[in-house]
Amino acid sequence: MPMNAFGLAPLLLVFPLIGVLFNGLVGRRFIVANRNTGEKWSGWFASVMALSAFMVSVLLFLSLRSHEYHAEVVHLFDWLAIPSAGFRVPWAFQIDTLSVTMMLVVTGVGSLIHIYAIGYMHGDPNFSRFFAYLNLFLFFMLILVSGNNYLMLFVGWEGVGLCSFLLIGFWFDKVNEKGEPMNANAARKAFVANRVGDFAMILAMALTFWSFGSLEFEPVFSHALEMFESGEMVHFGLFSASLGSVLTAVTTLFLIGATGKSAQIPLYVWLPDAMAGPTPVSALIHAATMVTSGIYLIVRSNVLFEIVRASGATIFGIVSSPDLVAYIGAATALLAGLIAFTQFDIKKVLAYSTVSQLGFMIAAAGMGAYVAAMFHLITHAFFKALLFLGSGSVIHGMEHGHHHIHAHNHGKEVHGTPQGDTHHEEDNFDPQDMRTMGGLRYRMKTTFIVYMIGALALAGIVPLAGFWSKDEILAHGSEHNLIVYILLTIAAVCTAFYMGRQLKMVFFGEPRHEAAAHAEESPAVMTVPLMILATLAVLGGGLNLPFLSQGIAETYHEHPGGVFLGLEGWLEHSIAAFELTEEGVVHLPETPKVFSPGVAGISTILAVGALVLAFYVVYANKPKTAEEPDPLQSTPIWWFSVLPLNTLYMNYIVPGFNRLAQWLADKVDWAFWHDFFHDRIIRDTFVGFAHFAANILDLKGVDGMVNGAGSLAKRLANWIRQTQTGYARNYALSIFLGTVVLLAYFIFMAN
Amino acid sequence: MEFQVPSLNLLIVLPVLIVTGWGMLLMLAEFFIPEEKKSWAPWLTMLGLVLALIQTIGLWGYNGGTFTPKGGAPMVVVDNFATFLNIIFLLTGILTVLISIHYLRRTGLDRPEYYMLLLFSVSGMMLMGMANDLILVFLALELLSIPLYILSGFAWPRPDSEESAMKYFLLGAFSSSIFVFGIALTYGSTGTTSLPLVLERISDAGMLGLVATAMLIVGFAFKVAAAPFHMWTPDVYEGAPTTVTAFMSVGAKVGGFAAMLRVFVAALPQLGEAWVPAVAGVATLTLIVGNVVAIVQPNIKRMLAYSSIAHAGYIMIAVAASVNSPDGVSAALFYMLAYLFTNLGAFAVVIALEHKQGEGVMLDDYKGLGKRRPWLALAMAYFMLSLTGVPPTGGFSGKFYVFRAAIEADLLWLAIVGVITSVISGYYYLRVVYLMYMYDGEGEVVANRALVWTVGLTALATLVLGLLPGPWFDMARDAALQTVQMVAGG
Amino acid sequence: MVEQIVFILVSLFTLITAVVVVTNRNLFHAALALMASFLGVAGLYVLLDAGFLAAAQLLVYIGAISILIIFAIMLTRRLMHALESPFNSQWGLGAFTAVVAFAVMAGVIAQFWPVTPDSVTPLASRPEVSASILRGSVAELGRALVSSDAYVIPFEIASVLLLAALIGAIVVAWPKAEDE
């Protein structure tokens, strides 16, 4: 028996927890005592804890290798257990290739972001609290990915939600020009949207437990497979239902949960707003890790999804739940890609891009391409974290530039004042507005280079990481689901286009604002993590090169565990390596590798084309000043790209649009509307599908529902509260009325 | 006349005797202890409660009764059910004393009578769990309530405190009268008030038995603050001194459920078909009213009042499930244990912020607590999560067992109502968290050592019940089985 | 037959005075009518051969409760001139409750209609009550209250209850330090 380190699994949680305690208890005192050394202690302590967790993940990875990749369950103790009923939910860690992959991503990217944040958060008054939250987030995220049952997953799920909530609102004093607490509102919105998903999760867990008598992954999956093979029905007291329909319900509820956490249609609205939090948070939580937990959930439950697919069960006879997953993912990918066109905030573009890329992963998972989904999840974690951190560096630089002019004008000393995205800003300068940027490639060389790499990786340019992972998804699409394939291909074109637009607006051309002209490069503590991430974004594709793993497959079967075979061979040990047919479970010798040169060629050509289009045609030498409108707004190119929708739009929507906009303006509460929408739509009823999507679908429809749910409850509460008059005689009457109704029930109904 | 040795076993009722005796002892002691040493009262009270607790724990596993009328069943029974509940009541008493000491001094309410009344009320609660006769249930209910009426008005001449006492008294008397009517009808239809005998005869009682059952439900529902008999709760909770609110939000509620479980599960299971839907209906209404109205409360004491209404609803689910599920009673018991720690912990934090009586109890006063008192805020956040039912907290484990029992008893819809309302409840519980961490604020926090200990202990207990509920649930099962066996044995 | 007539008369008396209670605008008169209604109920008990109950009704309801009500009226309003509209904000709900309560009672009675000697099913299974209780012997009652094999524990608890109420009364009545 080779050595293994599975017993170390609990340390995964212990290290971040120590970090939380350190920064929660004493971190602040260090900083109060001495600002600079205190920050170093606080920040590095947290980072070292994250790195230690990463080391544990690496040890677990090595142990799995030496253990022939067999999943291991490290049992701590029973949590909810009723021995007589043969039921238990333990605190136990599921160490298999899937969870270790997630652990590596979470702790690896997490560590880099921790280190970066030391530089980024420099001077923030709540420095140590920030790191306490970051470590707390890691703690919960690791519970989420390492638990061996749905309930632990749910604990992590709730915990990361709480941390996200706390971190979005971290700068809670930030207000918009109407004096409303922006970040606090964004935090609340994230909270409300996620509650819907959480509710679905609870129901899904209840249903799972009820049907299979367990919440642990292994027993649930094996029980489900057995039932599928034997064709057994699921019995609920008096009722019974076919396995397919029960699992359809479970998986659909999982999907709803995933749409909440992973920001898919219709619950994606919170994610763009969540960018109000500090940039390292956007990178860690809202791009690389937490938002991928929905994908993890689906991939983890792949057995259940596959059974639904094989059983042919559908939702109301329309669509099967895995297909629904794929369609929702693809639709989100496209919609968010379109909306990203119209954003001017550097982080908002990335936010919509994240929604769009998450859509790719969800779509892949829905098509059964679980490995492709995980692959994209990993590469996306690399390059999107890189892009967010890069944008943070840009914002940081812009603020420096702005402070520079400010200091120049007023002769004030500004170094050492708190800084960050836009908090503590006296005037209306927005360092995140791309229109005020331009020409930054000269001022911020390192940032420019790594950002370029990230953007190209995201756009899917050979041979960067994004190309391989996205292409694998597309190849699956072309084989299994043409609609999804087409949607995703268009979404990929959009991706290339908006990234080209962003690169051009931020780094090329001439500075359009004095701040951009005086921007400064960020310190090494920020740029070094960027370089590491850039390296990963370049090389990440190597994890699952199509040519590589095919060749090694045979070697692997001769020497299991001997070589690392790429993600495909690695994840094979956790992800269904079987096919389900009507006859039962057929184990597959190996998962076939999908690579289609045709698909790869098409997508590469389209991506390059879109980049060229953005760079040399649409944004060739525009905009020149910060005030000039986006060239897209006046060119007909846009109309061709959405022609079918356009016809519909011109004939049916435009005529009613003016009135609708006016009505919305008059009647509906504006609290959550983006100011951008507010100005533009109402002032000149600008027409364009992108804006239609951005403003109507995105902001009004779903926001309205999310906010409506809250206000409905409030209205109901106020209505009931009116009965609370304060008069004892009313209360007595209520008691009497209740008594009489009960009596009536007992006499007339119960008899 | 021949002399009969009374067949009494006073040893098993010793905990109650200690508590009542201690109340009288305090009364006498007041004469002999000089004015300036009045601070003895809480510690003496604590001593009595701890002694009773030790004695109670020693009774774990004992199963018997005493005060047996000729040819009848014992009026007082001591089984694990009663012992488990007595532990809850005594812990409630001890924790209430801990949070009261400093609060009473700074609000000028520090009089020994407070502790005497507290002890009498605790003894009433203990009898609620032990009573095996409807007459005794009624007397225990009154013994529990009358001190509470006075304690609610303890802050007189503050108008809201007086108003709260008056309302509580009037409505309490009103509901008690309905309850007594129920007992009278039970007697009328079965010729007995002894629960085991009621069990034997109730199936022949016909319509009168049903009417009696309805009236008994009203009496208990009032005491546990279930809708639509809950309307006194917010006013009384708001007006009463906060320590009293804490005490009755746990003690009176658990006391009500103690007797309710005993009566409905041990004496009236045959009418289950009739009363289970009624209790389930009351539970549904309670859950909706409590959780929805709590959303708009700006005052934390009122919010916690509605929250306590909502929690009565969750326990009611377990009551409704207790006939058809072997784990219904144990789920209720476990839930109440978790609720005891969570709710008293939350109230301890409320008391820490209430620097002057009636000030510092608005939700807005919680703004910025995360910065000012990080540990207190963390504990409060944890209590709020536990009340919401987020794992891993005692509140979650409790809800889990309750919903499981409900599903087992074929009350799936009720479990779903419970889940939905739990989700709604997140809205107002987490708003406290939100206010504590998302805003800046100033406000005095007075946390003395006893209070900090209470917060720490309750948070720890909530965590233990959340992480390792197994052994405690097993205890609750042992406690519940006794009740069920008693039913089976007639 | 005579009994029937007496019963109808007493019932009518009870009902009419009850109607006066809720319709009279003068609170004091309403309270007096309430006493009269209680008296009518006591009369019904006499007709039912329940002497002890009738006495208790007289003592408790007329002797104590009604007097309490009149005291309350005297202390809070100007006596004799306390005119109140019988309708306040919750009369509708009150009427509804009354109608439902009536329906419930009517429903119960309708179940046994028409009444014949063997139709009183709910009481059919009532176990035999010992003759001494029916006699209402005071000595028997006293013994039952203090025997350990009877009602000593409720009796003792009632005494604790009264003690608690006594302490409560002192707390409420005692002047507060600040008030002096």
The residue among B334, B369, B378, B438 with the most chain A CBs within 10 A of its CB, best to mutate, is B438
pLDDT band of residue A395 (cuts 50, 70, 90) is confident
Among C68, C76, C149, C151, the residue to mutate for chain B (most B Cβ within 10 A): C149
| Sequence-distant (≥ 6) Cβ neighbours of residue A563 within 8 angstroms | A552, A555, A556
Task: Report pLDDT for A679.
Answer: 36
SS3 assignment for B51-76: HHHHHHHHCCCCCEEECCCCCCCCCE
Separation CA A258–CA A294 (nearest Å): 4
* pLDDT tens figures, C2-34: 888 999 999 999 999 999 988 888 888 888 899
* C100 close contact with A: CB closer than 8 A: yes
In a domain, A612, yes or no: no
Residues 296-315 of B with CB under 8 A from A: 296
Average pLDDT over residues A70-75: 82
3-state secondary structure at position A210: helix
Structural domain containing residue A35:
1-148
Give the CA dihedral A146, A151, A154, A160, nearest 10 degrees: -50
Whether residues A101 and A170 fall in one domain:
no
Q: Which residues of B touch C165 (CB under 8 A)?
A: 146
Q: Is A567 exposed, middle or buried (0-12, 13-18, 19+ CB in 10 A)?
A: buried
Q: Model confidence at A445, in pLDDT bands (50, 70, 90)?
A: confident
In chain B the first and final C-alpha atoms are separated, in Å, by 34
Q: Which two tokens stand for residue A96?
A: 């298999």
Q: Which of residues A101, A130, A148 is at a domain's end?
A: A148
Average pLDDT over residues A127-152: 90
Maximum mean pLDDT: which of A551-565, A729-743, B12-26: B12-26
Spatial distance between the Cα atoms of B404 and B398, rounded to a whole number of angstroms: 10
Residues composing chain B: 490
Which of A373-382, A705-714, B389-398, B473-482 is least confident? A705-714
Instruction: Determine the average pLDDT of the residues in B384-388.
Output: 93
pLDDT above 50: residue A675: no
User: What is the pTM (predicted TM-score) of this model?
Assistant: 0.76
Residue A498 lies in a domain: yes
pLDDT tier at A308, thresholds 50, 70, 90: confident
- A737 has a chain C CB within 8 A of its CB: yes
Of A544 and B93, more confident: B93
C175 burial (CB, 10 Å; 0-12 / 13-18 / 19+) is exposed
Instruction: Find, in chain C, the residue whose alpha carbon is nearest to that of B21.
Output: C160
On the question of pLDDT at B30 being above 50, the answer is yes
Question: Could you say which residues from 395 to 414 on chain B have a Cβ atom under 8 Å away from some Cβ of chain A?
Answer: 397, 400-401, 403, 407, 410, 412
Considering its fold, how many domains does chain A have in total?
2
Residues from chain C that touch A736, judged by Cβ atoms under 8 A, are 97
- pLDDT band of A284, cuts 50, 70, 90: confident
Q: Which fold has domain C1-85?
A: Four Helix Bundle (Hemerythrin (Met), subunit A) (1.20.120)
**pLDDT at site B100:** 92
Q: A182 and A99 in one domain?
A: no
∠A657-A658-A661 over CA atoms, to 5°? 80
Q: What is the pLDDT of residues C103-145, one digit of tens each?
A: 878 877 776 666 665 555 544 444 455 555 555 556 676 777 7
Same domain, yes or no: A112 and A212: no
Lowest mean pLDDT among A706-710, B199-203, B439-443: A706-710
For residue C100, list chain A residues with Cβ-Cβ distance below 8 A.
Answer: 737, 740-741, 744
A202 touches chain B (CB under 8 A): yes
Which of A29, A32, A79, A201 is the best substitution to test chain B (most B C-beta atoms within 10 A)? A79
CB-based contact, C96 to chain A, within 8 Å: yes
Which one has a higher pLDDT value, B69 or A653?
Answer: B69
Cα A346 to chain centroid distance, Å, stands at: 17
Give CA angle at A423 (A422, A424), nearest 5°. 120
* Position A627 pLDDT exceeds 90: no
Checking if the pLDDT of A637 tops 50, the result is no
Query: Looking at residues B195-213, what average pLDDT do you find?
Result: 86
Cross-chain CB nearest to B178 (options A236, A734, A739): A739
pLDDT on residue A46: 92
Looking at A127, A148, A169, the residue that finishes a domain is A148
Mean pLDDT computed over every residue of chain A:
76
Tokens of A184: 């606090």
Q: What percent of chain B has pLDDT over 70?
A: 96
Residue C103 with chain A: CB contacts under 8 Å: 744
Q: In this predicted structure, what is the pLDDT of residue C147?
A: 77
Judged by CB atoms closer than 8 Å, whether chains meet at A199 and B221 is answered as: no
**Chain C residue numbers touching A740 (CB-CB < 8 A):** 97, 100-101, 104
On whether residue A61 sits in a domain, the answer given is yes
In this complex, do B113 and C167 lie within 8 Å of one another by their Cβ atoms?
yes
Counted across chains A and B, CB pairs separated by less than 8 A come out at 158
Chain B, nearest residue to C154 by Cα:
B136
Percent of chain B with pLDDT over 90: 47
Same domain, A92 and A2: yes
Asked if residue A610 is part of any domain, the answer here is no
Q: What pLDDT does residue A436 have? A: 80
Q: Contacts of residue A82 in chain B, CB cutoff 8 Å?
A: 327, 473
A121 and A175 assigned to the same domain: no
The answer to whether residues A529 and A489 belong to one domain is: yes
Task: Specify whether the CB–CB gap between B281 and B152 falls below 8 A.
Answer: no
Q: Which H or E run includes B158?
A: none
Partner-chain contact C171 B127, CB within 8 Å:
no
Q: Would residue A665 count as lying in a domain?
A: no
**For residue B488, what are the contacts with CB-CB under 8 A and spacing of at least 6?**
none
Residues of chain A above pLDDT 90, percent: 17
* A653-666: average pLDDT: 39
Tokens for C110, please give them. Answer: 């309708």
Angle at the Cα of B241 (from B237 to B246), degrees rounded to 5?
Answer: 60
> Which sequence spans correspond to the domains of chain C?
1-85, 133-180
Q: What pLDDT was estimated at residue A422?
A: 44
The rounded distance, in Å, linking the Cα atoms of A151 and B399 is: 14
Interface residue C110 vs chain B (CB under 8 A): no
pLDDT: which is higher, C168 or C121:
C168
B186 Cβ under 8 Å from any chain A Cβ: no
More confident residue, B240 or A40: B240
The ipTM value here is 0.85
Q: How confident is the model at residue A589 (pLDDT cuts 50, 70, 90)?
A: very low
Segment A390-396 mean pLDDT: 89
Q: How many whole angstroms separate alpha carbon B348 and alpha carbon B421? A: 25
pLDDT in tens, B428-459: 888 888 788 777 777 778 878 889 999 999 99
* The pLDDT value given to residue A178: 54
Q: What is the pLDDT of residue A179?
A: 56
**Residue A339: its pLDDT value, please?**
77
Is the pLDDT score of A297 beyond 90? yes
Residue A681 has pLDDT above 70, yes or no: no
DSSP output for A519-584 = --PPPHHHHHHHHHHHHHHHHGGGGG-HHHHHHHHHHHHHSTTTS--HHHHHHTTTS--EEEETTE
Residues B276 and B285: their CA atoms lie apart, in Å, by 14
Of the residues A148, A178, A211, which one is the last residue of a structural domain? A148
**DSSP conformational letter for A693:** I
Split at pLDDT 50, 70, 90, the class of A271 is confident
**Domain presence at residue A735:** no
Contact between chains at A731 and B232 (C-beta distance less than 8 A): yes
- Tell me: the pLDDT tens digits for B317-367? 999 999 888 889 999 999 999 999 999 999 999 999 887 777 888 888 888
Among A211, A720, A739, pick the best mutation site for testing chain B contact (most B Cβ within 10 A). A739
- Per-residue pLDDT at A647: 40
How far does the CA of residue C103 sit from the closest CA of chain A (Å)? 8
- Taking 50 as the threshold, does the pLDDT of residue A661 lie above it? no
Q: Does A735 touch chain C (CB under 8 A)?
A: no
Position A644 pLDDT exceeds 50: no
Whether pLDDT at A660 is above 70: no
Q: Which of A729, A740, A747 sits opposite C97 (nearest CB)?
A: A740
Q: Which of residues 331-360 of A touch B (CB under 8 A)?
A: none
In this predicted structure, which of A464-473, B145-154, B227-236, C166-175 has the lowest mean pLDDT? C166-175
A744 touches C at CB < 8 Å: yes
pLDDT tens, residue by residue, A412-431: 444 444 444 444 444 567 77
CB A619 within 8 A of CB A501: yes
Instruction: List the 691-730 stretch of A: residues with Cβ below 8 A of C.
Output: 729-730
Mean pLDDT over A362-383 rounds to 90
pLDDT exceeds cutoff 70 at B286 = yes
| pLDDT per residue as tens digits for the range B49-106 | 999 999 999 999 888 888 887 777 888 999 999 999 999 999 999 999 999 998 988 8
Residue B374 scores a pLDDT above 60: yes
Q: What is the rounded average pLDDT for all residues in chain B?
A: 88
Query: Per DSSP, what are the bridge partners of residue A345?
Result: A433
